[in-house]
Structures are given as C-alpha cells and as structure tokens.
Homo-oligomer: A and B are copies of this chain.
C-alpha cells in the first residue's frame, strides 16, 4: 500500500472488482468502515476513492444509504430518429420515441407559463429583449427516476391559441402543432456541453456534486425563423447521445 495517495489504489481495486463482476449491478460495495480497516487508512481517504468512482459513473451513493454499483444501462438518445417527421406524424414525442426504443417506462411532468424573454433566450430565438415567450418546463423520468430536465421557449405569437399553451400538447407534441399552423420545421441545431449541476438541478435530478450533467441547447428552425429553444439538462451517466451525420 502506497503511503502517498492510497486512494488511487483503493479506487483501482474497487474498479477492477466491479469490472470483473465481483460486485454486480445493484450490489453494495463494502462499507466505509470495512475499507478503512482493510487498507488501514482514514475515513477521508476512503471517501476520496468513492468520489472518484462516482465521477466515473461506476457507482452511486446516498447519505445514510449505501454505495451501489450502477445498474442502469445508458438511455440511447437517437438524434436522428427522435426528431424525424415520421415519428412526429405517428404522434410520439422525442422522449417517448427513445423510451420505446430502449424499453423503459417514460413519465413527463409539465409546468407551463408565459414570460418575458431574457437576453439569452431572446438572442437564441432572434427576438427583442423582453418579447413574450411561452415556457414549458418538463421533468422527465425513466422508470420513475428523474433523468432529464427540459425547458422549451417559444415566441408567444406562435403558441397563442394552440395546444402548445395547454399542459397536454396532443399527439406529436409541439412540433406537430407548429407544423399544423404552417411553420414547417427545416432543421435543428444542437449544442452539447457538460459540467456539474447547480444546486437546483442537482436536487431536481436527485444527483450529488461531482456527477456531471449534459447541457444540450437545441434550436428548431423553419425556413425563415427560430421556432423553439429547448434547454436540456440530463444526467450524463444515464445518456448516450447518438448522431448520424451524412458525409456530403
């Protein structure tokens, strides 16, 4: 046992044990006390090793609870299929499309309200500061566990008098409603970044510090204007983003 940075060795040992299946998905790791004794180290040192494995996405832990090997497979988020017109016509939103492909149970909670666009939202939608937008905030769950927050902003003139201002937007969701009112979608641009969550996001997603999130900013365009800004915060460990790109 190295005297300097023994947490590396502890993390390496546990990582190997997980990868070889000694600790299978959903199983508990040894308790902190057991690891302290086994390696002859202090509590903080064990904690450093645990923190590393958590940031690698191998384990999850809850205070008072237990340290568990992660069991859930990543949700495949299929960028091409999920936004296709075919799926929209069939009446499924993108999250539901992913669920059907991945065989998990989707659940979406929505809150809606109009508001004045701040500078960032106005810039993305090419509106003037303070223009009215309609906001749909969604918490998405997979098999009951929150995995994603998505907040959509649409220029109010596109949504007034449509089902987009209802809690339930109807079959095909907001994109189907936009196309019905003559706003044909041409393309989407997605920008992907990653970072740690802030306190509000961490609480809503039920994750701790150090568990990274994906931040996806998506703008939907018609031929002449920006129709929707969607800001997504997703538990990084739970997702694999899949993009299909033409070579031409």
Taking Cβ atoms with an 8 Å cutoff, the residues of A that contact B are 8, 44, 51-52, 55-57, 74, 79-80, 83-85, 184-196, 198-199, 209-210, 212, 214, 220, 236-237, 239-248
Contacts and interface: CB of A to CB of B under 8 A. Distances in A.
A184 B248 CA distance: 10
A209 B242 CA distance: 26
Given A8-B199, A210-B55, A240 B189 contact: no
Chain copies in the assembled complex: 2
B193 A74 contact: yes
A187 B57 contact: no
Contacts of A85: 247-248
B191 A237 contact: no
Contacts of A246: 186-187
Contact of A189 (B196, B237, B243): B243
6 nearest A-B residue pairs (beta carbon): A185-B247, A192-B241, A55-B196, A194-B236, A56-B196, A188-B245
Contacts of A186: 246-247
B248 A84 contact: yes
A247 B187 contact: yes
A243 B190 contact: yes
